[in-house]
Amino acid sequence: MSDLTNMIAANADWFYLIGAILFVLTLRGLSSPKTAIRGNRFGMVAMAIAVVTTFFLAEGPVLWLIIGAMVLGALVGMWKAKTVAMTQMPETVALMHSFVGLAAVAIALATVLHTEQQHGAVARAELFIGCFIGAITFSASVFAFGKLAAKSWAKTLVGGWVKPVQAILFIAMIGFGIVYFMIDSLPAFYAMAVLAVLFGWMWIAPIGGGDMPVVVSLLNSFSGWAAAGIGFTLGNSMLIIAGSLVGSSGAILSYIMCKAMNRSLLNVLFGGMGTSAAAAGADDGAPKTYKAGSAEDAGFLMSNASSVVIVPGYGMAQGRAQNAVKELYELLKEEGVNVRFAIHPVAGRMPGHMNVLLAEADVPYDDILEMDEINSDFASTDVVLVIGANDVVNPSAKDDPSSPIFGMPILEVNKAQTVMVIKRSMSTGYAGLDNSLFYMDKTMMIFGDAKKMVEEMVRSINGGGH
């Protein structure tokens, strides 16, 4: 055992280098649905190398505690992976981010309390940064979990008092952190950690549900930076590299998603699309009419079309309709219809939400197109079927300068010959805005549960003698 330990310790840098390369390959693989499984496997191998190497490098490890925690964590992780529904994936991701933040705080506290070791200025700066980023990530992710899971305790905060309280908490947190850095004061460190937890909650709580995909992406970035900060504290190069990769990739994804909404990151985080936005986009009280149709009508139109584009939204996730949609897709393909899917970058409740659902249903990747790839095709499309999407197909983003989402790139489904929309009701989307698409002459509203309506469309086509 001692020979193995000495061998691993002597070659730890090489093992960490191999792990770092595998982490880079992980991100490369996860950039495409076609290579995502391979990328995930690279990540698993890299993490195994990192854990085993660090395990043998530890000085005087408490074996039963470490192994017990690893086994317990693995069991919980496997159970959660097998039981979590795809509709619960956004809140599950947010909850996992909270654990990374909590781990960073726990490591920082353990390091600060390690009194036999004197912490220099650099170490105190690392502890300060790692702890407050971790604490913010923890509480903000817990609130994001509650918001996405529609928990009663995750109430959106509104009012003129919110931003002053945010500012006070942030300034006080930085102030206590500076005190700790200057004089190595433990009470100041504890106060900074508590204030960071409160700030994380207050920071995310006012943000509207329509901005949650960006928030989840940003918290993913924060969890990476928290891990990198603690990596400096522990002197662990693998943790620094892995954390930096997660942090930078999450930041880039957040930027891409903000660009897809034509908004700045600061506007999302400190402006939001909340009550004021909804009020600004409210209708003027004039009567509006819409056409309602049945699933049978939709089935007839699609089966007699030459081209159909399906636009999935959160309604598909909420109704767990992805497998029924796959069946509809295959049936239309058999009828000779050109069927494709159009994905908006912020559709759903987390980055890639719709891609994950369609991949789960084994929809071929080649027929799943991003917004930029398919927007030019809508004008020549016979029928568009929108399943539970609202804001990402709202023409006001193009036509109405007074709309809060004006300038936001959308899927231009209004250019198709016929548009069909599955919704439970005429209620607004997560951004709280009415959608002019629903009142167009070419649009037919189909009210009901997404899964049930799509299944009825399938039965209608099958019974239509085609």
Neighbours of 72 (CB within 10 A): 10
Which one from 184, 297, 372, 391 is the annotated catalytic residue?
391
Question: Residue 147: exposed, middle, or buried by beta-carbon count in 10 A (0-12, 13-18, 19+)?
Answer: buried
First to last CA, the chain: 70
**DSSP code of 463?**
T
The Cα 28–Cα 39 span in angstroms is 7
Assign 424 to helix, strand or coil: coil
- How far is the CA of 49 from the CAs of 22, 23, 45, 104, 334, in angstroms? 10, 11, 6, 20, 47
The Cα 47–Cα 160 span in angstroms is 45
Neighbours of 113 (CB within 10 A): 9
The Cα 129–Cα 229 span in angstroms is 7
* CB 420 within 8 Å of CB 443: yes
Residue of 100, 119, 120, 111 whose CA lies nearest to 250: 100
The Cα 350–Cα 209 span in angstroms is 11
* CB 440 within 8 Å of CB 457: no
The DSSP H or E segment spanning 197 is helix 186-204
Sign of CA pseudo-dihedral 303, 309, 313, 317: positive
- How far is the CA of 60 from the CAs of 57, 66, 324, 379, 466, in angstroms? 9, 11, 55, 68, 72
The Cα 48–Cα 42 span in angstroms is 10
Give backbone dihedrals phi and psi of 339, rounded to 5 degrees, phi first. -115, 130
What does 312-374 look like in DSSP terms, one character per residue? E-HHHHHTT-HHHHHHHHHHHHHTT-EEEEEE-TT-SSSTTHHHHHHHHTT--GGGEEEHHHH
Is 391 a known active-site residue? yes
Active site positions, annotated = 391
